[in-house]
Structure 1
């Protein structure tokens, strides 16, 4: 059995090795930590991005401001550069037109020297010898070939620069608190109650095993044991029950996609150092030679769901098209280890229930679906009994695709002293036509013309962080148990509390 290397898209270093043989198109050779993969390729069947470059040219200052507000500093100059390149392309086009007109004139004279015409240029050509006409024709042909090549290079560069620019921003940053934590004040920035970490609680109860995961896989992995594993499935089933009850269709998506699909969805670094850490799958040399495009593990099923309609047309009567998926998600999550990455809060692999929708290209209709997502997120978090707040995120916290993003944060008692207690558990993003243009997903608009549907996505439930929040908020120090939210009990054999089996107390947890 061959060893497969999975690599980080940002730094190209090997992040983990798994004993696995993928089928044709997925198989890779063993690679060392210094092995690099070829640049991401888009196959001939991949969707051709259709970017509104005219809007960028007409509003370069707007796009520059958007990039700076979102901390996409490297891309801030892309719009003005596109304007410059477009002017160069226009000059080349004019030169090409002049040369073609002259070439056509020479061809006309060569074909019929006896043609009579009062055109001054043609009269001048008639005075040339046949050899002179042929020589100039060859020269013009070479010049046209060079100009055509320059035009193609400029257009390719313009498209590349346009693809890097993030979506425009809408909506103010706001904060709304759903329910105050126990012993806290609704208006207080931080409630007064502190508490033990879910790492200590889960380890003491014997339902979280970080030490074994550190040995088997390293930092950022974990074992859910017994009631924690059962709680994961309960959370998934409950979230699905809520979302499908609202009419969303369930999908079981792939966890591996072409890297260009992820990039089209907006999962790309902000700068050369990169913030987006994606596991890519190393290619065998034979695959690289055959130009097999790069593959990656999905960091969210948003990517694979969006890819369902790549290079296709959604009929108007099918919109809004709403989907929900359960998937395993993979993120390199490189960076320093600390209080904000402790335990289950930031991990490399996790289960998530994700909502994704295509809507008509209308802001009001898209907002309706977006608000529906927020309502379902609120229902789920409130029914779990978790103190939470809703934040409309500022531009600096938006990714490339979102024009608007709303996060929901739950209260984590163990994070109170150093991190203010709050931690993100869900998010929802409205992406307008950013993703559909890059994936060539079309629909018909008013008048029968082709347009691009808007997309929206939202986390119905990110399992590990919600487990962490349930453990910390439901912990009873006296009984040494964790209260199970009532809505989950049907999937927890009717149990009201997690009792686990006491393993140890007040000892450092290895591997965290």
Structure 2
């Protein structure tokens, strides 16, 4: 959430920012709602002052004066109630308008949609096979590593069972990512798979409504989390931190649940776009200055790159365009791994993202910090990034390390957990 005074003082900037991010906004209405709210607050304070003065006069009034004072007090009470009711409606509308506004945007972020993404760098050599490569669906089916039919039978389309060596691979990737982030100084958590609506909204997710990607629990204010970013950000809700304790590095292991509404098509094949997966997520709280949060942002991206380099998977790092940033992100970098089975002859597919959300989430969640040398408090900056999202990383690993006989070579970094160098082909 942006600061309301900043919005009113920089209306043209906010409108231009919304336009570049493809977000519909109504800044004049927001400013008018703010004006009405201020007027109602002033009027309400005046009515309550009159109430207090009238109540003080009644005990001292004569018998002739008292009835009219009592009647006037009743009128004031009714007017106060009407004022408070109207103020509540205005504040609801004002907060709704505020919640639609995205974060500000880094000046270097590319303007446009997905096709305008800028490739910052690439790593690794795209494999050249001397045989016809298979996609992950065929490979995993041949090796008895996945069961889509049982997944659909139990939970519906978009769910699946990982089997045999795929289970070992999942555990290995989680262990490797956990080891990596712990070595980088992140405190480890397993998080709740559910979060309250106020926490989801605070982190920038909309758990209710026709366009949501969130599974909501009926007759409750709880929803299944789409990422550990949600509970990790929410765990410090309404807290004031000592600035000397920042930056804070936390990492969460969780299941992630997404409706993937509108996510059909070639990119949804197999386990690329599913309703549930396991992920290790990095999250950071920094002091409220861009130098600190930009530095943390680079740290997160660096860890993501180290993980995929260790997995020997070619990738590219992209600077995400404004139209794909989502509401909370000030700037976002994605890692896209090479997937030989994607498209006609292989394509890059997103496997991680890392976002600097500046104070956008902290303002909604009420997370502040205090410097003993200064008065008052400030909203911290928050950041998040994927250490490993198991299903997509598994696709890239299996497809890039497939061998002519249908076996899968295991990268050195995972062998101590998988317990083998190669997943052998089935006879």
Task: Give the TM-score, by structure 2 length.
Answer: 0.88
2:95 aligned to which of 141, 146, 159: 159
Partners in 2 of 1:363 and 1:54 — Cα distance?
20
Per-residue Cα deviation, 1:386-430 (whole angstroms, up to 9, x for no partner): 111001111100111111111000011122428x61100000011
Q: 1:261 to 1:104 in 2, by over 3 A?
A: closer
Q: CA deviation at 1:444?
A: 0.5
Identify the residue that residue 162 of structure 2 maps to in structure 1.
224
1:472 aligns with 2:382: no
- 1:315-330 counterparts in 2 under 5 A? 315-330=242-257
The alignment covers a number of residue pairs equal to 417
Partners in 2 of 1:160 and 1:204 — Cα distance?
51
Partners in 2 of 1:95 and 1:281 — Cα distance?
40
- 1:84-95 counterparts in 2 under 5 A? 84-95=32-43
Q: CA deviation at 1:335?
A: 2.8
* 1:343 match: secondary structure: coil
1:198 aligned to which of 120, 123, 136: 136
Identify the residue that residue 338 of structure 2 maps to in structure 1.
411
Q: CA deviation at 1:261?
A: 0.9
Per-residue Cα deviation, 1:22-48 (whole angstroms, up to 9, x for no partner): xxxxxxxxxxxxxxxxxxxxxxxxxxx
Identify the residue that residue 499 of structure 1 maps to in structure 2.
424
Identify the residue that residue 113 of structure 2 maps to in structure 1.
none
Q: 1:104 to 1:213 in 2, by over 3 A?
A: closer
Structure 1 residue runs of 5 or longer lacking an equivalent are: 1-49, 115-127, 185-190, 284-292, 503-512
Per-residue Cα deviation, 1:44-94 (whole angstroms, up to 9, x for no partner): xxxxxx962222222233333333332332xx11x3222111222333345
Q: CA deviation at 1:462?
A: 0.6
Q: 1:106 to 1:469 in 2, by over 3 A?
A: closer
2:411 aligned to which of 482, 485, 488: 485
Q: CA deviation at 1:487?
A: 1.1
Q: 1:111 to 1:459 in 2, by over 3 A?
A: same
1:172 aligns with 2:109: yes
CA contact (8 A) 1:194 1:413 kept: no
Identify the residue that residue 400 of structure 1 maps to in structure 2.
327
Identify the residue that residue 278 of structure 1 maps to in structure 2.
214
1:429 aligns with 2:355: yes
Identify the residue that residue 355 of structure 1 maps to in structure 2.
282
Q: CA deviation at 1:207?
A: 1.6
Q: CA deviation at 1:138?
A: 4.7
Bigger radius of gyration among the two: 1
Q: CA deviation at 1:492?
A: 1.9
CA contact (8 A) 1:181 1:411 kept: no
Q: 1:139 to 1:67 in 2, by over 3 A?
A: same
Identify the residue that residue 38 of structure 1 maps to in structure 2.
none
Per-residue Cα deviation, 1:189-217 (whole angstroms, up to 9, x for no partner): xx999832100111112222223323333
- 1:300-315 counterparts in 2 under 5 A? 300-315=227-242
- 1:205-284 counterparts in 2 under 5 A? 205-268=143-206, 273-274=210-211, 276-283=212-219
Identify the residue that residue 29 of structure 1 maps to in structure 2.
none
User: RMSD in angstroms over aligned alpha carbons?
Assistant: 2.9
Partners in 2 of 1:233 and 1:471 — Cα distance?
15
- 1:41-56 counterparts in 2 under 5 A? 52-56=3-7
Task: Give the TM-score, by structure 1 length.
Answer: 0.74
Structure 2 residue runs of 5 or longer lacking an equivalent are: 111-117
Q: 1:415 to 1:84 in 2, by over 3 A?
A: same
2:13 aligned to which of 62, 66, 76: 62
1:81 aligns with 2:29: yes
Q: CA deviation at 1:374?
A: 0.6
* 1:335 match: secondary structure: coil
CA contact (8 A) 1:429 1:458 kept: yes
Partners in 2 of 1:229 and 1:217 — Cα distance?
19
CA contact (8 A) 2:328 2:360 kept: yes
* 1:447 match: secondary structure: coil
